[in-house]
Structure 1
């Protein structure tokens, strides 16, 4: 009963927010947006498919760290003569460097292929919008904010997670002067969608792929057999996400994954495939207590 009630609450809240946006009912919209955290907490407590779907919650500080590291390496790889060790160092660059960074960010697509309720996408918005305040001319900030939002994509197999992700993004954007929420709703509903990327891969190429892929030996045998014909390592779904992400990426990937692949004998084939296909820049052990 709890789970059914929770799912209905997410759907009800989502539809209420959509109606408030379409009718331009600001007071109702704010009231509904303030209910998101409570409903998300219930969803996480009662979501009994999490283990079967390999879903694990990511804390915001970890998402912030992965976004910062990945974006730093991406900027270094695309802009000549900068060698950042952190995003904080951007403030010491030249005006020409600022322009190069802003142009790159404005044209870079970012995707979380297992986005859940959106912690990585929200982290990206927070970090990049803060960066705009530091280096962007005031009269260009609003245009760049709109462009960045249009570059965000997220996929997940769980419909309630997708609705929560859109709700949380709308809440984050609701106070921006630059944003028409009705337009943003349309964009988010076309970019943040229910999708199993292993079965139905994206057709776009993303400059940044980030997230916390599902873990575990959870695929059914028929899909495993299909992936084996593609020479894909299938022992753990996160390994499949990594190898497939390399096909959708034309820049940098930053994933939170188990470290089982580093030492275990059963992952030798995966390690060989990964080293053959990817240029590994960093492997960071963030500890066991997540």
Structure 2
């Protein structure tokens, strides 16, 4: 467990360094030059030396505290660099590639990146004896991390690392993704869910576009600004942070539009004063107005959002660390320390609060006391685990806690919905991607009843079975708002015929939902939809999508 922990911490730090170098936040090739210099001195290497590792550890220490050496290094501090590696951990300078034969054989990389010419010459002198870890670090350092890494790539790194970790732990038969129900969510899904929860919560009329939101508050934009500053958003199964990062993007965009609107309003006042008033007194007023224009600082706004608006919990320690790394990318700024994220992004079991049941039990009121002192969370979003497996003791405990959704089948996604309802503020917004059995499977009638009892503005999109890579499982997006009055209808959209590529460019916000009245549900809370009407509304003719030609006819042979 410790080996895996420090291997991941090492890689997270290295990826951050490469990113910071590529984006001008710190000097370029901060340790690569030292590595090549030492590699060029053949005589100082031995079978047991770890000089390159020692160089990297010194760089880590400088990035924590800062350094005024010949190359000045700013101390970023924060959680990423302040933990020291145990003395027993290192990697050797020389290591034959055959030592890593198993890893190379299992690698899925088809085209292996090459070293630059300078590095190749030095490696050639050592006749293939240099540790492949060093070679890979130098190759990574040659990438442009401004354009070649984003949250989607990090998500795939996360997926692959989970698979690698389960193999390292000797858990080959039962993958962690299967046991804990972990699947990385595509960006078009996170975008739709975040827009259709965050914006409607801020709106008085339930709009779901930023432009309409600004128009709605044009008489009192400060009220919207205050609501944005106070909003509390949670992902109770945050994975690699895809939903939280998308939520940050949307809040940043809203804040920018608010500032633009306020500046436009001030500019309009100036124009009016220039056309109506010509006295020296009016010119003085104009100068004051000009000085009050706000400048939009994206990094500072992101830092403010992370400190005040965004919260995440995950059972998986590895995914929590990748979420933090993704956020560090967002807030990394030259000569400015990193934030401490331990109060916002936490590791724990979102479903269980009893330490007698699991050591990862998570007490919500204790861990997020400042939230529950005032209210609850305003928006809950995410992709909860589906069908996560529990031992019998844990299963019996969960059935008692989540009795509203466990009388038919125990499924983790249903319990996450019940837990989320208990964490949402009275007018809060909710958005998950879940199995599409929630639409009409008898086993999920309990969670449908729960949703209908406590919510309104329910929207469901049947996404079919081609959302997640390497996973053939039908899924649906569901969004709703908490409400004391039961809804009289829900909105349904069927996109089962679309594949992943088509869905990634489809405008999910398009208003072609089917309205289903609650009275049109049968006794198992399944939808009694007229199939012909349904087909007419949500499908298209084959000839509209494909060019149809005749093949060989039987009677012509």
Q: TM-score, normalised by structure 2?
A: 0.45
User: Residue 181 of structure 1 corresponds to which residue in structure 2?
Assistant: 337
Query: Of residues 314, 334, 348 in structure 2, which corresponds to 1:195?
Result: 348
Q: Please say if 1:10 is aligned against 2:137.
A: no
User: Does residue 207 of the first structure (1) align with residue 378 of the second (2)?
Assistant: yes
The structure 1 residue matched to 2:316, chosen from 158, 163, 171, is 158
Residue number among 177, 188, 195 corresponding to 1:50 in the alignment: 177
Offset of residue 41 of structure 1: 3.8
Deviation at 1:61, TM superposition (A): 1.9
1:243 aligns with 2:418: yes
Distance (Å, rounded) in 2 between the aligned partners of 1:27 and 1:196: 33
The Cα shift of 1:145 comes to 4.2
| CA deviations over 1:49-82 (Å, ceiling 9, x no partner) | 1111100110112101110111122123xx3xx4
1:237–1:280 Cα change, 3 Å? farther
Residues 266 and 259 (structure 1), Cα distance of their counterparts in 2 relative to 1, 3 Å cut: same
Number of equivalences: 278
CA contact (8 A) 1:115 1:155 kept: yes
Q: Which moved more, 1:146-155 or 1:162-171?
A: 146-155
Aligned partner of residue 390 in structure 2, secondary structure: coil
In the aligned structure 1, how far is the partner of 2:377 from the partner of 2:192?
A: 20
What's the counterpart of residue 368 of structure 2? none
| 2:390 paired residue among 219, 232, 237 | 219
Q: Which has the larger radius of gyration?
A: 2
| Alignment-derived partner of residue 459 in structure 2 | 282
Q: Does 1:23 align with 2:103?
A: no
Equivalent residues of 1:9, 1:39 under 8 A apart: no
Any idea what the Cα deviations from partners look like across 1:13-68, whole Å, max 9, x if unmatched?
Answer: 34566856533535999x79949767764441242311111001101121011101
**Structure 1: distance between partners of 2:191 and 2:154:** 23
Label 1:39 to 1:70 Cα distance change in 2 as closer, same or farther (>3 A). closer
Residue 41 to residue 256, structure 1, CA distance change in 2 (3 Å): closer
In 2, are the aligned partners of 1:53 and 1:214 still within 8 Å (CA)? yes
Unaligned segments of structure 1, at least 5 residues: none
Matched, 1:172 2:330: yes
Change (3 A) 1:63 1:69: same
**Bigger helix fraction:** 1
How many angstroms does 1:163 deviate by? Answer: 0.7
1:143-178 deviations in Å (ceiling 9; x for gaps): 754432112111111111111110110101114x8x
Cα distance in 2 between the residues matched to 1:246 and 1:253: 8
1:122 corresponds in structure 2 to: 245
In the alignment, what sits opposite 2:405? Answer: 233
CA contact (8 A) 2:156 2:184 kept: no
8 Å contact from structure 2 (residues 315, 349) kept in 1:
yes
**Deviating more after overlay: 38-47 vs 255-264:** 38-47
Q: Distance in 2 between matches of 1:262 and 1:39?
A: 32
Q: 2:238–2:313: 8 Å Cα contact kept in structure 1?
A: yes
Q: CA 1:4 to 1:287, structure 2 compared with 1: closer, same or farther past 3 Å?
A: farther
Where 1:193 maps in the other structure, the secondary structure is strand
Alpha-carbon displacement from aligned partner over 1:90-115 (angstroms, at most 9, x marks no partner): 34344444322221111011111100
Alignment of 1:257 with 2:422, yes or no, is no
Q: C-alpha deviations, 1:217-272, integer Å up to 9, x for none?
A: 52222222123223242421000000010011111111111111221112222322
Distance across 2 between alignment mates of 1:67 and 1:26: 35
CA gap 1:123/1:21 in 2 versus in 1, 3 angstroms: farther
Task: Give, in whole Å, the separation in 1 of the partners of 2:242 and 2:144.
Answer: 16
CA contact under 8 A between 1:106 and 1:144: conserved in structure 2?
no
Q: 1:272 aligns with which of 449, 457, 470?
A: 449
After superposition, the Cα gap between the structure-2 partners of 1:273 and 1:100, relative to the gap in structure 1 and judged at 3 Å, is same
- SS of the aligned residue for 2:180 comes to coil
Deviation at 1:289, TM superposition (A): 1.6
C-alpha change, 1:97 and 1:218, in structure 2 (3 Å) is farther
Tell me by how many angstroms 1:189 deviates.
Answer: 1.9
Query: How far apart are the structure 2 equivalents of 1:123 and 1:59?
Result: 11
Structure 2: runs of 5+ lacking an equivalent: 17-59, 67-72, 82-140, 164-175, 263-292, 353-361, 366-370, 468-557
